[in-house]
Structure 1
Amino acid sequence: MFGKKKQPPIKSLIAQGTCIEGNLKFTDGLRIDGEVIGDICAGEGISSILVISESASVTGRIHADHVIINGRVMGPVHASELLELQPKAKIEGDVSYKALEMHQGAVIFGQLRPTSQEMEEKPVLKLAANNI
């Protein structure tokens, strides 16, 4: 409620029973209930949300601000803000995120890499030598 950004509207749908082969670029929100073979990337500079439902399957790279997964993904996932993994999520690939919410039952076969600023390498502090 306080401090949360308003979610962009989901304006596009890839329905169950639909198979798309090729790379996708979208703005605002996209919901996938079918199958996508190719990379999925949100447009730059606009807040985005990608929902991959329980019946969905994606083979390729995923890059969006807010990613919600409850289906199967074969490829790397990058959520520049929030990654939500629902109970039936299955990811085969490396995952990077700023914030992660993972429900019991979700499975990741790959590495988890937080991208938050706290995890970035801090500069080395050097102490002044004592001159006695």
Structure 2
Amino acid sequence: MFNRKKQPPIKTLVALGCQIDGNFQFADGLRLDGSIQGNLVGQADHPSILVIAETAVVVGEVHADHVIINGKVDGPVHARQMLELQPKARITGDVTYKLLEMHQGALVTGKLCPIVGDIPATVSEEKPTLKLAANNQ
């Protein structure tokens, strides 16, 4: 109706009090209320949505199509389509996104790198050297 793609259903829940040690790969949707010590990856060949709730903690990389964060992530975040940072979001690491929605109060300690086309923009692109004119007397 408003030119928005239908989101995949959230079929997986890591509840408050649960902890996963190691990498975790998911399809469709995942809601995280607990903690993960490892990389959290939505399958690239299947639409994915990841909700990191206020009580959640991730120590590792995050990869998904649509990422909604209101908890803590210690590592880089890669949102292949959209990244939503809610007021209590705390990210320590670089963030890559195609579209970004950031609420007041969200905090990112790292670089914000938008995806232009299909290529992430690099912040450290080489800049031309400036030459100053010599003062000839």
TM-score band, normalised by shorter chain = 0.7 to 0.9
Alignment partners' CA distance in 1, 2:2 and 2:90: 31
Provide the aligned C-alpha RMSD in A. 1.6
Q: Secondary structure at the match of 2:82?
A: strand
Percent identity among equivalent residues?
58
Aligned to 1:124: none
* Aligned counterparts, 1:54-65, within 5 A: 54-65=54-65
Matched, 1:108 2:116: no
Which secondary structure does the structure 2 equivalent of 1:115 belong to?
Answer: strand
Please list every run of 5 or more consecutive structure 2 residues that lacks an aligned counterpart in the other structure.
123-137
TM-score (norm 1): 0.88
Q: Is the 8 A contact 1:97 1:116 kept in 2?
A: no
- The aligned counterpart of 1:128 is none
Divergent runs of 4+, >4 A:
118-121
In structure 1, distance between residues paired with 2:35 and 2:8: 23
SS, match of residue 100 in structure 1: strand
Query: TM-score if structure 2 supplies the norm length?
Result: 0.85
Contact residue 113 and residue 121 of structure 2 kept, 8 A: no
Aligned length: 121
The aligned residue for residue 67 of structure 1 is 67
Alpha-carbon shift at residue 120 of structure 1 (Å)? 6.1
Check the 8 A contact 1:38/1:60 in 2, yes or no.
Answer: yes
